[in-house]
Structure 1
């Protein structure tokens, strides 16, 4: 299978980062993962990703600020993947530029389905 393009994973928890990376790699993406918001903003500008997954609770800056900064350099769909499941959290995520919002814990199939919605796969490639 040819690559569906670069997916940038911005997640500070290495277990979750590895899980997201494995799921998206199996879904056909070339995954580049970073552990901080600042590294994510730089990578978004350098890598021209087709999809960005982003945690809200990062060690150096809020995921909302990361999303706003990425929006200045990339039109890639943004998926917040976060443990923040409060009533206003999803609205705040979408307001900062996200295209989708998935709360942890999540099932791998949920992540695959959202990735497919945000980056439709060419059926001939599968």
Structure 2
């Protein structure tokens, strides 16, 4: 049973592939985009259950796109980024992130964050 759509916004193809693989195994139907503009275009049609967002996108800073994402979707927003300072984490959460994960991450950390944000529904 699908847990819904996850929109992965990540410009690094290898990292996007890893995130997609983990989330597919967690039961999500994953769609991946590499730019903020593609994400905003897809978001309107997909209505995702979860969004993952890299802050270092080629066309727009992730903190800037967060406001637009928040206006368009109530889905939990998991920032996945190499920006590791306390100020970066504070700014990410203050702009609307539901959780913040620092690269490089262990697959278990991603699974744990997703479990907190999108608890699996019981099949009873």
Structure 1 residue ranges (4+ consecutive) displaced by more than 6 angstroms after TM superposition = none
Partners in 1 of 2:11 and 2:101 — Cα distance?
Answer: 16
Normalised to the residue count of structure 1, the TM-score between the two structures is 0.95
- For the pair 1:121 / 2:116, whether they are aligned, the reply is no
Partner of 1:29: 28
Task: Give the root-mean-square deviation of aligned CA atoms.
Answer: 1.0
- Secondary structure of the residue aligned to 2:24 is helix
Instruction: Find out whether 1:52 has 2:46 as its counterpart.
Output: no
How far off is 1:124 after superposition?
2.8
Gaps of 5+ in 2: none
**Hey, what's the Cα distance between the residues in 2 that align with 1:51 and 1:43?**
13
Q: Give the drift of 1:72.
A: 1.0
Determine the C-alpha separation between the residues in 2 that align with 1:110 and 1:124: 25
TM-score by length of 2: 0.97
Report what 1:73 is aligned to: 72
Aligned to 1:86: 85
Aligned 8 A contact 1:11 1:55 in 2: yes
Question: How many pairs were matched up?
Answer: 124
Task: Give the CA deviation at 1:97.
Answer: 0.8
- Superposed CA deviations along residues 48-75 of structure 1, whole A, max 9, x for unmatched, are 0000000000000010111110111100
> Per-residue deviation at 1:95?
1.2
Could you list the runs of 5+ residues in structure 1 that have no partner in the other structure? none
Residue 19 (structure 1) aligns with: 18
Equivalent pair of 1:8/1:53 in contact (CA under 8 Å): yes
CA distance in structure 2 between the aligned counterparts of 1:18 and 1:52, rounded to whole angstroms: 15
